[in-house]
Amino acid sequence: LDASDRERIGAGLVAAVSRATLVNIDHHNYNTRFGVVNWVDPKASAVGEQIWRFARSLEWTLPPNSLRALYVALITDTGQFSYGNTTPRAMRIAADLVAAGVDPETIWRYVYLEKTTQELALEARARMSLTYWADGRIAVIGVRDRDFAETGTDPQATAEFTNIPRSVVGALMALFFYEIEDGRATKVSIRGVRELNACKLARRFGGGGHPQAAGCTLVKPLAEAMEEFRPAAESAAEALGSAAVLPQKREKHE
């Protein structure tokens, strides 16, 4: 589920499924169709949406845990119904799940609100790192391996960090760089607005994803990874021109 290629299902499973009938259910545009059966629907906002439709068509009654899992799939893949993939269908399925007993507040508290003191310390560092490229068209944050070490956290604590650069008024692209493998490599999360294709940019660096949300990995420490990535990001953002995305809510501070 939710894997655009065979490697994404994980090393352990790759071995296990090689002798089995592999059913590939996914919504990534560039899915390699690696299964025996492939159901790839790029119009689905989340694979949870596909599973819900599948279960409904077979008239299955799903237990509460499964309903919650489908709801989590919907809210995380749509960025709490904020990304461009937030379709009427996604919202109707969310409504169906709530009608079936899912409690949105409990899930929201658990998935988004509650943070440990360590996670908050890491977030403070991430916010402090905020910087701008291409005259503010691109907002960038970076977290180093030592930030994880010194705050006692790991990359799992960064699930929502792309919202920090995304929140900058007027930014067309949000980038979140963070070191992995003891600082030997750097992951890049790319979020785009408007016509900016985050996936196209990610694919230039061997990554992938969706038009609005994509990522890649560079085998370099953070500073070098940023340096390598920056020209491609800047030309992608500059190609969009300088027209304002939305009426500016506040004067942009220089």
Q: Which residues bind Mn ion (CB under 5 A)?
A: 2, 77
Any idea how long the chain is? 254
Nearest to Mn ion of 61, 156 (CB atom): 156
In whole angstroms, the minimum distance from the beta carbon of 77 to Mn ion comes to 4
CB of 168 to Mn ion, least distance (A): 25
Nearer to Mn ion, 25 or 141 (CB): 25
Query: Which is closer to Mn ion, CB of 2 or CB of 123?
Result: 2
CA separation for the pair 230, 135 (Å, rounded): 13
Find the shortest distance in angstroms from Cβ 210 to Mn ion: 8
Residue by residue, DSSP assigns 20-82 as S--EEEE--TT----SSEEEE-TT-S-HHHHHHHHHHHTT----HHHHHHHHHHHHHHTTTTT
Distance of closest approach, residue 126 Cβ to Mn ion, in angstroms? 23
Rounded to whole angstroms, how far apart are CA atoms 197 and 227?
20
Q: Residue 240 CB, nearest distance to Mn ion (Å)?
A: 25
77 vs 179 by CB, closer to Mn ion? 77
Q: What are 150's two structure tokens?
A: 């010194």
Crossing angle for the helix pair 64-77 and 47-57, to the nearest 10 degrees:
140
CA angle 221–79–252, rounded 5-degree value: 70
**Of 170 and 209, which CB lies nearer to Mn ion in the complex structure?**
209
